[in-house]
């Protein structure tokens, strides 16, 4: 076969996304990996910091300029809204470059290996962005309930398999009641356990001096921040936050 014939076999290379698009990356086999390396359960701040740091690195160093990145557990959702997407919107490029960047940053941050992230592209209509983030945050809440429930049962002496089996038969309210009996009120656990972490650009005022006019001046600047105290996205406050960030 000629080289051109092989190029014709790259049948997915020209699949392109139209903005806005979410690239979601998920850790592969992280439950066992974190257990082997002794991370705290059900939530480990060092691991969460590494995930948020990887999202921040993507905004600072990748050249891809995501609008926001929302992370919980071992997933990160990266929103791209530029009219001209990086790599002209080529899905293979977007998914592979973002997944590999996140993998390399977290490997370096946690000093563990090997790790891997898979990725997928989710094209959205602009009006669907808030709904998508509400969906993922509801999954963060479900993960919080199940994680606390599972490891609380493990603390009573149940095996991992027995704890998982017990959780299958419990409603959310049953898990809450069980946790309360063990002194755990999910309303009081850190907000990032329940709602995740968002990385985004924020405006701030910077004071300076104009030597030409001889006066003090204030200029608006933007910086990338990690928000560990998110509102509920389904609330009015949460919807306003998302809209403000997406419209920037």
| Contact yes or no for 99/55 (Cβ under 8 A) | no
- What residues pair up with 28 in beta bridges, in sequence order? none
Q: Which two tokens stand for residue 215?
A: 């006066």
Residue 93: predicted pLDDT = 94
Residue 64: predicted pLDDT = 86
Average pLDDT over residues 170-189: 94
Position 27 confidence tier, pLDDT thresholds 50, 70, 90 = very high
| Tens-place pLDDT, residues 201-230 | 886 556 665 666 666 656 566 789 999 999
Residue 95: predicted pLDDT = 96
- What residues pair up with 225 in beta bridges, in sequence order? 200
Domains of the chain by start residue, with CATH: 3-125 (3.30.70.3000)
Angle formed by the axes of helices 45-61 and 91-110, nearest 10°: 130
For 144, list phi and psi in degrees, rounded to 5. -65, -50
Position 83 confidence tier, pLDDT thresholds 50, 70, 90 = confident
Element (H or E) spanning 92, and its range?
helix 91-110
Task: Name, in order, each residue with C-beta under 8 angstroms of 219's C-beta and a sequence gap of 6 or more.
Answer: 205, 206, 208
Average pLDDT over residues 30-39: 85
Q: DSSP E strands: which ranges in the chain?
A: 21-27, 68-72, 75-80, 117-123, 197-210, 215-227
Bigger pLDDT: 61 vs 23: 23
Residue 31: predicted pLDDT = 82
Say if residue 77's pLDDT is above 60: yes
| Tens-place pLDDT, residues 35-51 | 888 899 999 999 999 99
Residue 7: predicted pLDDT = 78
Task: Name, in order, each residue with C-beta under 8 angstroms of 13's C-beta and a sequence gap of 6 or more.
Answer: 90, 92
Lowest mean pLDDT among 66-75, 81-90, 192-201, 227-236: 81-90
Sheet holding 68-72, edge to edge: 117-123, 21-27, 75-80, 68-72, 197-210, 215-227
Residue 84: predicted pLDDT = 78
Cα separation, 27 vs 4, in Å, equals 36
Cα separation, 130 vs 148, in Å, equals 27
Position 13 confidence tier, pLDDT thresholds 50, 70, 90 = confident
Average pLDDT over residues 58-70: 89
| Tens-place pLDDT, residues 95-121 | 999 999 999 999 999 988 788 999 999
Q: DSSP E strands: which ranges in 59-196?
A: 68-72, 75-80, 117-123
């Amino acid at each position: 076969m000629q080289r051109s014939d092989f190029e014709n076999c790259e049948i997915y290379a020209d699949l392109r996304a139209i903005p806005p698009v979410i690239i979601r990356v998920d850790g592969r086999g992280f439950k066992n990996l974190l257990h082997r390396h002794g991370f705290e359960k059900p939530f480990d701040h060092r691991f969460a910091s590494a995930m948020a740091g990887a999202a921040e690195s993507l905004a600072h160093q990748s050249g891809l300029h995501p609008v926001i990145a929302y992370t919980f557990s071992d997933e990160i959702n990266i929103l791209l809204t530029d009219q001209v997407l990086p790599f002209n919107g080529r899905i293979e490029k977007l998914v592979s470059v973002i997944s590999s960047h996140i993998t390399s940053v977290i490997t370096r941050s946690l000093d563990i290996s090997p790790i891997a992230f898979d990725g997928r592209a989710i094209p959205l209509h602009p009006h669907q962005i808030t709904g998508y983030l509400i969906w993922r945050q509801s999954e963060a809440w479900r993960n919080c309930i199940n994680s606390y429930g599972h490891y609380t049962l493990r603390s009573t002496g149940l095996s991992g398999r027995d704890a998982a089996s017990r959780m299958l038969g419990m409603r959310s309210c049953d898990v809450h009641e069980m946790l309360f009996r063990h002194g755990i009120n999910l309303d009081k656990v850190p907000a990032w356990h329940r709602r995740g972490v968002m990385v985004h650009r924020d405006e701030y005022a910077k004071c300076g001096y104009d030597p030409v006019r001889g006066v003090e001046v204030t200029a608006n600047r933007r910086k990338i921040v990690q928000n560990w105290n998110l509102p509920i996205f389904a609330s009015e406050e949460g919807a306003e936050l998302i809209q403000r960030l997406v419209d920037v």
